Amino acid sequence: MKLYVTPGSPYARMVRIVVLEKGLESQVEIVGAQTRVTDSPYYAINPSGRVPFLLRDDGIGMEESALICTYLDELNGDPVLRPSGGRDAWEARRLEALARSLLDGLAVWARETARPETERSPRVILHERARAQRMTDLWETAIDGASIHGGLDMGQITLACALDLEGRIPDFGWRSGHPRLDAWFGRIAARPSFRATATRPA
Ligand SMILES: N[C@@H](CCC(=O)N[C@@H](CS)C(=O)NCC(=O)O)C(=O)O
């Protein structure tokens, strides 16, 4: 299989982490894609032009990080990244959605930050900064929830990839006032899969 990525995409990073955590390196080849340019050859492979994109051995392609992560988690019949049923599963999925909501806002903020200064929207940046503040405040409490402290799961991978966008958003200073979240992030960031997929020196 081929996994199309860009080095800076937090969504692609989530899948790269799953590849490493599940030991799938020999089954999944990581391929760099050229996104956001006119006439990229990548558009012939994935017409949406987005990453991550998994091109399976049967020739079928899959978009969406959460879907690809779940597919890879279940590939060899030993899924571990989501509890399988009952209240714990719903709580894990609720927290995953909460982490995804933070990540989606930060991805907009990071994209805006990367534009030339004259093309940035101060309104969008203010909106996303305020959302990130509210949501990291919420996570400072939510991080103590039981299921998030179990084995590594999709919610934790999503949250850690979101928080690590501090490297791309200079004004996203989430650590201040969030000591529990900071301590949790330190443990996750030390995992080999996170270090190996970091876009800046660990
Ligand atoms: N919901 C998608 C988001 C993917 C996404 O937005 N990827 C960005 C990179 S972070 C992308 O490929 N952008 C290129 C483009 O919009 O053309 C997922 O979870 O995979």
In this predicted structure, the answer to whether residue 99 has a pLDDT above a threshold of 90 is: yes
Q: How far apart, in whole angstroms, are the C-alpha atoms of residue 7 and residue 130?
A: 27
Ligand 1 atom at shortest distance from the alpha carbon of 111: 10
| 149-158 tens-digit pLDDT | 678 999 999 9
Question: What percent of the chain clears pLDDT 90, i.e. is strictly above it?
Answer: 89
CA 103 to ligand 1 center in whole angstroms: 11
Indicate whether residue 195 lines ligand 1 (CB < 6 A).
Answer: no
What would the mean pLDDT of 185-196 be, rounded to a whole number? 96
Task: Name the residue of 51, 100, 108, 157 to mutate for ligand 1: max ligand atoms within 8 A of Cβ.
Answer: 51
In this predicted structure, the answer to whether residue 148 has a pLDDT above a threshold of 80 is: no
Q: What is the CATH number of domain 86-191?
A: 1.20.1050.10
* Spatial CB neighbours of 130, under 8 Å, sequence gap ≥ 6: none
pTM given for the model: 0.96
Q: How confident is the model at residue 46 (pLDDT cuts 50, 70, 90)?
A: very high
In this predicted structure, the answer to whether residue 80 has a pLDDT above a threshold of 80 is: yes
Indicate whether residue 35 lines ligand 1 (CB < 6 A).
Answer: yes
Specify the pLDDT at position 144: 81
Indicate whether residue 51 lines ligand 1 (CB < 6 A).
Answer: yes
Q: How far apart are the first and last CA of the chain?
A: 28
**Closest residue by CA, ligand 1 atom 9:** 9
Q: What is the CATH number of domain 2-74?
A: 3.40.30.10
Q: Lowest-pLDDT range, 31-45, 109-123, 137-151? A: 137-151
In this predicted structure, the answer to whether residue 201 has a pLDDT above a threshold of 50 is: no
In this predicted structure, the answer to whether residue 49 has a pLDDT above a threshold of 60 is: yes
Burial classification of residue 127, based on how many CB atoms lie within 10 Å of its CB (0-12 exposed, 13-18 middle, 19 or more buried): middle
User: Where are the domains positioned within the chain?
Assistant: 2-74, 86-191
Ligand 1 atom at shortest distance from the alpha carbon of 6: 9
Task: Copy the structure tokens of residue 22.
Answer: 């599940």
